[in-house]
């Protein structure tokens, strides 16, 4: 499963569990003003969507460099497009960030008579405005316009490029129809067009699809009341120091290959130090909380002992699975945190540009009567999600965390 699809599935799961059975008891007066019991402003009236459909991009021998030919070209059509995050300003206008990729890539077979095939990786991103026109209480028409990015990773035969890499921006246009099933769920269908690039010899792209959208609506007052603190603690702020041990790569491999819920990487980190600051912005009554964090990290690669640093901001999903008198135990997951990375070439591998994404997952403890002390274990990952043609991911093994909440 592609990285963004795993991420979207986890976000949807987190949003679904914030709608538990509504409690009947009123919150204590001390908790009545806790703003974290309601969605923050940006998330309220936000949305996420998944669309599946048919992609048309006329790849042919024109994409091959002079002197090369292929016996056949296979163009798989099934493609996924995700709205990673959108926000509805009013019933007439929304904005959204999207990611699209085919399930299987275009392949050129038997190039210049050699046996076998070569893939051309295609990925598309976009930031668009989405005007909407209600036709009936349940049906709306929409348009879409904005800026898109096309990333093509080609291939070589020997050391000679056959289909060259390409990365360029272009306009995104689209239109479609929505059916509002409930206040939270919509069914969608539409078409999306991305212009090609003559300079990069990249054909235009047309995507026709159907799917669903989940809308994050402000919680009703009775559910907000149930979410307020009635004895369970959700620390407002957390400051942590982290040390990467250089051991435990097997765990990264297990959760990226055997149980594919995380990602590996070509560059392995040997040692690392990091400082993290997290601030809680939303919580349910007992289990789920959403934090926004920032981190500064210093790393050393394993193979060439190359030093580099990262600066990140990120969302953090925390699921408190066990609450006991001495400690609360949680599973934590952070995805797609925008990151500056100081090096573009690590251990001889190109990681892309200085912009990438941070992901991490792990387990954590809050200890003591006031849950002031924190400890945990985690693994990290850095990659650009293939928005650039080079994307050798960075794998960070077991990391020990110690912190203080306030």
Is the Cβ–Cβ distance between 291 and 280 less than 8 Å?
Answer: yes
Is the Cβ–Cβ distance between 214 and 47 less than 8 Å?
Answer: yes
Query: For residue 229, what pLDDT is reported?
Result: 63
Query: In the chain, which residues have pLDDT < 70?
Result: 1-33, 229-230
Query: For residue 223, what pLDDT is reported?
Result: 86
Exposed, middle or buried, 368 (CB in 10 Å: 0-12/13-18/19+)?
exposed
Q: Which residues contact 373 (CB under 8 A, 6 or more apart)?
A: 366, 367, 403, 404, 405
Query: For residue 103, what pLDDT is reported?
Result: 96
CA distance 300 to 322: 35
Residue 151: count other Cβ atoms within 10 Å of its Cβ: 23
Is the Cβ–Cβ distance between 14 and 46 less than 8 Å?
Answer: no
Pick the CATH number of 45-216 from 2.60.40.10, 1.10.357.10, 3.30.70.1150, 2.40.160.20: 2.40.160.20
Parts of the chain belonging to CATH 2.40.160.20 = 45-216, 232-405
Exposed, middle or buried, 364 (CB in 10 Å: 0-12/13-18/19+)?
buried
Tokens representing residue 31 in the block: 């908790």
> Which CATH architecture fits 232-405?
Beta Barrel (2.40)
Query: For residue 30, what pLDDT is reported?
Result: 41
Instruction: Using alpha carbons, list the distances in angstroms from residue 205 to 100, 148, 171, 244, 354.
Output: 11, 11, 11, 43, 28
Is the Cβ–Cβ distance between 362 and 398 less than 8 Å?
Answer: no
352 secondary structure, DSSP code: -
Is the Cβ–Cβ distance between 265 and 384 less than 8 Å?
Answer: no
Query: For residue 20, what pLDDT is reported?
Result: 43
| DSSP states along 152-210 | EE-EEETTEEEE--EEEEEEEEEEEEEEESSSSEEEEEEEEEE--BTTTTB--EEEEEE
- For CA atoms 153, 158, 163, 166, give the dihedral sign: positive
* pTM for this entry: 0.83
Residue 297 — φ and ψ, nearest 5°? -135, 150
The beta strand positions in 195-250, using DSSP E, are: 205-216, 237-244
């Amino acid at each position: 499963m592609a990285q963004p699809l795993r991420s979207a599935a986890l976000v949807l799961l987190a949003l679904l569990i914030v709608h538990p059975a509504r409690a009947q008891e009123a919150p204590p007066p001390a908790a009545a003003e806790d703003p974290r019991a309601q969605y923050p402003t940006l998330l309220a009236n936000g949305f996420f969507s998944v669309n599946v459909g048919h992609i048309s991009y006329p790849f042919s021998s024109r994409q091959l460099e002079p002197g090369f030919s292929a016996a056949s070209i296979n163009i798989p059509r099934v493609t996924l497009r995700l709205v990673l995050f959108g926000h509805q300003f009013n019933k007439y206008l929304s904005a959204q960030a999207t990611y699209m990729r085919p399930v299987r890539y275009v392949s050129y077979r038997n190039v210049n008579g050699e046996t076998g095939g070569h893939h051309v990786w295609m990925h598309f991103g976009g930031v668009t405005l989405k005007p909407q026109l209600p036709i009936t209480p349940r049906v709306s028409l929409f348009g879409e316009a904005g800026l898109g990015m096309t990333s093509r990773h080609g291939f070589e035969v020997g050391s000679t490029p056959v289909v060259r890499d390409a990365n360029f921006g272009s306009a995104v246009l689209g239109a479609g129809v929505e059916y509002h099933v409930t206040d939270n769920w919509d069914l969608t269908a539409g078409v999306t067009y991305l212009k090609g690039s003559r300079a990069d010899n990249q054909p235009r792209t047309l995507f026709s699809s159907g799917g669903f959208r989940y809308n994050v609506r402000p919680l009703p007052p009775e559910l907000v009341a149930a979410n307020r603190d009635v004895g369970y603690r959700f620390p407002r702020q957390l400051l942590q120091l982290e040390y990467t041990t250089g051991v435990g790569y097997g765990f990264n491999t297990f959760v990226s290959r055997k149980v594919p819920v995380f990602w590996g990487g070509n560059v392995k980190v040997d040692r690392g130090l990091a400082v993290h600051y997290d601030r809680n912005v939303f919580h349910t009554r007992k289990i789920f909380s959403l934090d926004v964090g920032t981190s500064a990290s210093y790393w050393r690669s394993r193979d060439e002992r190359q030093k580099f640093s990262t600066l990140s901001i990120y969302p953090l999903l925390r699921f408190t699975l066990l609450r006991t008198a001495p400690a609360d135990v949680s599973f934590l997951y952070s995805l797609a945190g925008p990151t500056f990375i100081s090096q573009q070439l690590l251990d001889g591998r190109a990681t892309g540009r200085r912009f990438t994404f941070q992901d991490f997952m792990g387990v954590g403890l809050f200890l003591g009567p006031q849950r002031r002390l924190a400890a945990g274990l985690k693994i990290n990952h850095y990659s650009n999600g293939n928005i650039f043609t080079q994307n050798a991911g960075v794998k960070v093994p077991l990391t020990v965390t110690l912190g203080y909440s306030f």
